[in-house]
Structure 1
Amino acid sequence: MEWYLDVLQNHYADFNGRARRKEYWMFTLFNVVIIVGIAIVTAVLGAVSETLGLLGVIAYVLYALVVLVPGLAVAVRRLHDTGKSGWFLLAGLVPVIGGLIVLYFMIIEGDHGPNEYGPNPKSSDPIGLSASPIGT
């Protein structure tokens, strides 16, 4: 949860620098959990009343709008960690293969040492969490 909150509070629209895999994937995980939670609540409320179901849909749309910019920012910084430009995220618009290519770059380990986008984020933990011995 700390990684998710760090992106929202400290890197909301920060498209500069690098994001390690753990930061990107923890942000993504919590987004999925929250969206599934909103979907379940919306389904239950929609079964009770159409008006309450509409409120759930509105809550989902508002949440999606709030996390749109930080989601793009952390994805761009993740691509920077692998030495790719943030514009490479547009490859995801190519049907099927584009999404797989972007997914590949989100999964692979970042560049060791500094690159053109900044120092290695693993060398200094931005929120004080120690790196796991297995890696991130």
Structure 2
Amino acid sequence: MSIKELLFSFQGRIGRKTYWVWNIVYYLMIVGFAMGMNVLVPSMAHLILPVFLIVILVPDLAITAKRWHDRNKSSWWLLLNIPLVIGRMTVPVGDPAIATQPSMFQIVSSFAAMACGVWILVECGILKGSDGDNTYGPEPE
């Protein structure tokens, strides 16, 4: 599978190793980008980071879809990512000295994101894919 297919196609299957490598790279990119923006343009970091998260959302969803496919499950399971995306977008960025109490929406979205994140972690990151060919293609190597 080419890099283009891996990052932008919602077809096929990948194994746990590819999924974990992607997630390590994905979160390192987020942390590195956020730290870089806080150093380079601290007053704009809270505006630039959500744009970056949207840009890297498609590759993340494509890879996660392939992992769901390896478990012989539909891409509809990607809907579990909605609370994660909302949770990431509502995390306050900025000076902790002026932080306020989280709103009820932030609290609820945080708990929903945590529950969905754990589910995705177990299903995609820990459980083995289906043996042999399945509805979504041949078993990944």
TM-score by length of 1: 0.68
Matched residue, 1:132? none
In 1: Cα distance, 2:129 partner to 2:121 partner: 13
The Cα offsets for residues 42-81 of structure 1, whole Å up to 9 and x where unpaired, read as: 2223xxxxxx224545553343222111111110110110
Q: Give the equivalent residue in structure 1 for 2:13.
A: 18
Deviation at 1:27, TM superposition (A): 1.2
* Runs of 5+ unmatched residues, structure 2: 84-110
More displaced 10-residue stretch of structure 1: 67-76 or 92-101? 92-101
Matched, 1:74 2:63: yes
Shift of 1:12: 3.3
Q: Distance in 1 between the 2:8 and 2:119 partners? A: 24
| Alignment partner, residue 110 of structure 1 | 129
Q: 1:42 to 1:25 in 2, by over 3 A?
A: same
**Cα distance between partner residues in 2 of 1:58 and 1:91:** 25
Distance 1:21 1:38, change over 3 A: same
Q: Unaligned 5+ residue runs, structure 1? A: 46-51, 123-136
State the secondary structure of the residue aligned to 2:9.
coil
1:12 is paired with a residue of what secondary structure? Answer: helix
Whether the 8 Å contact between 1:19 and 1:77 is mirrored in structure 2 is yes
Query: What RMSD over aligned residues (CA atoms) do the two structures have, in Å?
Result: 2.6
Higher relative contact order (CA 8 A, sep 6+): 2
**Per-residue displacement from partner, 1:63-101 (whole Å, max 9, x unpaired)?**
322211111111011011011111123245492443322
Q: 2:76 aligns with which of 81, 87, 96?
A: 87
Deviations 1:97-116 (A, max 9, x none): 43322221112111111111
| 1:99 and 2:117 correspond | yes
Does structure 2 conserve the Cα–Cα contact (< 8 Å) formed by 1:15 and 1:74?
A: yes
Relative to structure 1, is the Cα distance of residues 60 and 100 closer, same or farther in structure 2, using a 3 angstrom cutoff? same
- Percent identity reads 33
Structure 1 pair 38/16, CA: closer, same or farther in 2 (3 Å)?
A: same
Distance 2:65 2:120 in 1: 11
Distance in 1, matches of 2:57 and 2:45, equals: 18
Give the helix-richer structure, 1 or 2.
2
Q: Report what 1:127 is aligned to.
A: none
